[in-house]
């Protein structure tokens, strides 16, 4: 489509692609031989924002909360109660709450960077960063399960389905092991990455495409603004997706932990 | 009009592969919604099950996009 | 990644001058940085935020529950007091009824007693009067008898001219007279007229 337009006008529309996410050629600055790129800075910034927010909210925690403390408590309490307590269960959710809260808000703010002006890049569209979080959660839920059930007990819990005749085991055990131990971290990481990547790609496409159409003229005077209107609509959709992905990532972590802690499968 | 249409055939494949999980996710949430409509008090239990089913179904789409990028 | 090119001239997306990076590629620096930053944030939240939240949360829960408990105890106290007061009121009512009943009984008793006393008194007065009358009558009879005797003798002596100074005779005469008188009276009852006597 754009190729056809481009061929007629002689102008060059560079469609956004994986290159739009590659900052290795344009580092912001160098730190001891290490090229520091924009996503890296965002990652640190996101962590700072999360910590400063919660620290400020709870620095002078009072019985009757102020405005900031109320916001902090609502945010913390939402993850604590609706994800931690409801999924893991009130017996031993409390020690996972800091992890879940950190995870949720760290992902949320880094996703939200895609929509914050002047930053406008979702940190986790860099797959390696999502790999790190998924890897960490893989370590945590397996460690929790092994600590509770022992290595063999945990492997049995995760890979031997109950209520199935033993004749089905040769088929089901590898499948369960594959899906519960191997695939989970991969899907966790890639779900987050792919959603952020695709959403950002869409936004780039619609905004640069709209600009190109305006410059192209003719039918572009109608199509360009239309593309920008669509870009705005997609931005709102992205806000929803950003929240949803952070929520799903955290929720799945809680479910994996709760599954690893379960007594009977 | 000698326009070009370029891109990766992998992505076409991925688009086809995403149909299945898309339908699956749709079915999961349709069942979830009708379940909650019938029994609003069961929402808490249904929600976690629905999200788990959604994650499992979406895993297929995610494996698809991984393969689309990785395979050459 | 293999680019499949449809229609005519292929254009390699070599913007920036380097080969396109696979978006799924593994970048060790980013992986490590992400782990470190997340780990640090997790540590900070764990250390500084979570305990304070839980503490505040527990304090608030306790404060609310304490308030509820205090209110409940107050309520129970008020209930107890109310029950006590009601009991006291009931007691007082009961007491009043009892006293009224007692008073009524006492009054009835007093009335009965007084009536009895008055009855006794009146009886006694009547008896006393009767006795007095009897005694006076007796006295009158006695004195009358003595006077009648002397009068009669005097009168008879004067009539017969005969001195009846002799005591023995006198008394014998009187006695006989009286006996005659009495017999006369009895005879008068039988319709016979007594004859004159000497």
What residue of C is the nearest CA neighbor of A25? C16
Residue B22: how many CB atoms within 10 A of its CB? Answer: 14
Q: Do A180 and A108 form a contact (C-beta atoms < 8 A)?
A: no
Of the pLDDT bands very low, low, confident and very high (cuts 50, 70, 90), residue A264 is: low
Mean pLDDT of B40-52: 86
pTM: 0.69
Report chain A's mean pLDDT, rounded to a whole number.
87
- Please state, rounded to an integer, the average pLDDT across all residues of chain C: 81
- Determine the distance from the C-alpha atom of residue A189 to the mean position of all C-alpha atoms in its chain, rounded to a whole number: 8
pLDDT in tens, A186-215: 989 999 998 898 889 889 888 888 998 898
Instruction: Round to whole Å and give the CA distance between A193 and A125.
Output: 5
Q: How confident is the model at residue A11 (pLDDT cuts 50, 70, 90)?
A: low
pLDDT at C6: 38
Average pLDDT, chain B: 85
**Per-residue pLDDT at C105 exceeds 80:** yes
Instruction: Decide if pLDDT at C4 tops 50.
Output: no
Q: For testing the chain A interface, which of B3, B4, B25 should be mutated: the one with the most A CBs within 10 Å? A: B3
For domain B20-70, the CATH class is mainly alpha
Neighbours, chain C (3 or more CB pairs < 8 A): A, B
List subunits contacting chain B, requiring 3 or more Cβ pairs under 8 Å. Answer: A, C
Q: Which of B1, B3, B6 best probes binding to C when mutated, by most C CB atoms within 10 angstroms?
A: B6
- Name the helix (H) or strand (E) containing B7: strand B5-7
Which of C38, C45, C63 is facing A98, going by the closest CB pair? C45
Q: What is the mean pLDDT of residues C138-143?
A: 88
**So what's the pLDDT on residue C9?**
36
| Residue C30 to residue A34, Cβ atoms within 8 A | no
A180 CB neighbours in chain B (<8 A) are: none
Report the C-alpha gap between C122 and A223 in whole angstroms: 136
**B44-53, C154-163, C184-193: range with highest mean pLDDT:** B44-53
Q: Return the pLDDT at C12.
A: 40
CB–CB of C7 and B5 under 8 A? yes
ipTM value of the model? 0.88
Q: Which residue has the higher pLDDT, C154 or C55?
A: C55
Which residues in chain B are closer than 8 Å to C11, comparing Cβ atoms? Answer: 4, 6
Tell me whether A181 touches chain B (CB under 8 Å): no
**When comparing pLDDT for C195 and B45, which is higher?**
B45
Question: What is the per-residue pLDDT for A26?
Answer: 83
Per-residue pLDDT at A136: 94
User: In whole angstroms, what is the distance from residue B24 CA to residue C139 CA?
Assistant: 145
Chain B residues with CB-CB distance to A86 below 8 A: 44, 48
Which pLDDT belongs to residue C163? 60
CA distance A27 to chain C (A): 13
* Residue C44 scores a pLDDT above 80: yes
* Residues facing residue C5 across a β-bridge: B6
Confidence category of residue C195, pLDDT binned at 50, 70, 90: very low
Chain A positions in Cβ-Cβ contact with residue B4 (cut-off 8 Å): 3, 7
The average pLDDT across B39-66 equals 84
- Reading the block at residue A176, the tokens are 């369960």
Interface contacts (A, B; CB < 8 Å): 51
User: Which pLDDT does position C8 carry in this prediction?
Assistant: 35
B13 is written with which tokens?
A: 């494949």
User: C21 contacts in A (CB within 8 Å)?
Assistant: 18-19, 21-22, 24
For residue C20, give the nearest of C40, C1, C36 by alpha carbon: C1
In this predicted structure, what is the pLDDT of residue B21?
Answer: 93
Distance from CA of B58 to the nearest CA of C (A): 18
Considering only CB atoms, which chain B residues are within 8 Å of A10? none
Residues of C in contact with B5 (CB under 8 A): 6-7
A14-18, A102-106, A153-157, A225-229, range with the lowest pLDDT: A14-18
State the DSSP code for A63. Answer: S
Q: Which of B57, B59, B68 to mutate to test the interface with A (most CBs of A within 10 A)?
A: B59
Q: How confident is the model at residue A2 (pLDDT cuts 50, 70, 90)?
A: very low
Give the confidence band of A3 by pLDDT, cuts at 50, 70, 90: very low
Place of tokens 């006492």: C106
Any CB–CB contact under 8 A between A202 and chain B?
no
- Rounded to an integer, the average pLDDT of B38-66 is 85
A255 vs B: CB within 8 A? yes
- CB contact under 8 Å between A179 and B56, yes or no, is yes
Asked if residue A6 has pLDDT above 70, the reply is no
pLDDT at A218: 83
Of A64-68, A243-247, C58-62, C140-144, give the range with the top mean pLDDT. A243-247
Q: Is A191 on the interface with B (CB under 8 A)?
A: yes
What pLDDT score was predicted for residue C24?
85
Domain extents in chain B = 20-70
């Amino acid at each position: 489509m754009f190729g056809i337009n481009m061929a007629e006008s002689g102008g060059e529309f560079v469609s956004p692609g994986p290159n739009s996410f590659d900052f290795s050629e344009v580092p912001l600055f160098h730190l001891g031989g290490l090229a520091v790129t924009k996503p890296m800075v965002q990652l640190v910034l996101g962590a700072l924002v999360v910590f400063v927010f919660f620290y400020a909210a709870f620095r002078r925690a009072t019985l009757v909360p102020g405005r900031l403390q109320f916001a902090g408590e609502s945010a913390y309490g939402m993850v604590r109660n609706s994800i931690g307590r409801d999924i893991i269960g009130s017996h031993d959710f409390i020690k996972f709450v800091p992890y879940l809260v950190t995870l949720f808000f760290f992902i949320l703010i880094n996703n939200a960077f895609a929509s914050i002006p002047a930053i406008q890049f979702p940190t986790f569209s860099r797959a390696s960063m999502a790999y790190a979080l998924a890897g960490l959660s893989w370590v945590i839920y397996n460690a929790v399960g092994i600590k509770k059930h022992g290595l063999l007990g945990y492997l049995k819990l995760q890979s031997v389905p109950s209520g199935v005749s033993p004749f089905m085991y040769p088929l089901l055990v590898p499948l369960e092991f594959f899906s519960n131990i191997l695939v989970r971290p991969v899907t966790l990481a890639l779900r987050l990455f792919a959603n952020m990547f695709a959403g950002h790609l869409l936004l780039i496409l619609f905004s640069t495409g709209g600009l190109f159409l305006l410059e192209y003229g003719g039918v572009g005077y109608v199509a360009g603004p239309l593309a920008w209107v669509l870009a705005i609509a997609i931005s709102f959709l992205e806000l929803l997706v950003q929240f949803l992905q952070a929520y799903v990532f955290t929720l799945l972590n809680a479910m994996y932990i709760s599954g690893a802690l379960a007594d009977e499968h | 009009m000698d326009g070009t249409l370029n891109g990766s055939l992998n992505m076409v494949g991925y688009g086809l592969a995403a149909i299945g999980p898309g339908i699956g996710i749709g079915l999961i949430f349709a069942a979830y919604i009708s379940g909650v409509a019938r029994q609003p008090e069961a929402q808490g239990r249904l929600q976690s099950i629905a999200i788990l089913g959604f994650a499992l179904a979406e895993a297929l789409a995610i494996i698809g996009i991984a393969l689309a990028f990785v395979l050459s | 990644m293999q680019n499949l090119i449809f229609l005519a001239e292929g254009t390699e997306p070599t913007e920036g001058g380097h080969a396109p990076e696979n978006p799924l590629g593994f970048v060790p620096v980013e992986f490590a940085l992400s782990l470190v930053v997340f780990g640090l944030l997790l540590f900070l939240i764990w250390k500084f935020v979570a305990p304070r939240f839980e503490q505040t949360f527990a304090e608030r829960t306790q404060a609310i529950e304490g308030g509820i408990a205090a209110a409940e105890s107050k309520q129970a106290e008020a209930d107890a007091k109310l029950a006590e007061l009601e009991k006291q009121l009931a007691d007082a009512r009961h007491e009043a009824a009892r006293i009224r009943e007692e008073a009524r009984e006492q009054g009835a008793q007093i009335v009965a007693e007084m009536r009895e006393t008055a009855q006794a008194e009146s009886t006694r007065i009547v008896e006393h009067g009767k006795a007095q009358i009897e005694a006076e009558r007796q006295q009158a009879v006695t004195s009358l008898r003595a006077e009648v005797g002397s009068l009669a003798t005097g009168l008879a002596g004067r009539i017969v001219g005969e001195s009846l100074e002799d005591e023995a005779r006198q008394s014998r005469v009187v006695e006989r007279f009286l006996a005659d008188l009495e017999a006369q009276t009895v005879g008068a009852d039988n319709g016979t007229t007594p004859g004159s006597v000497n």
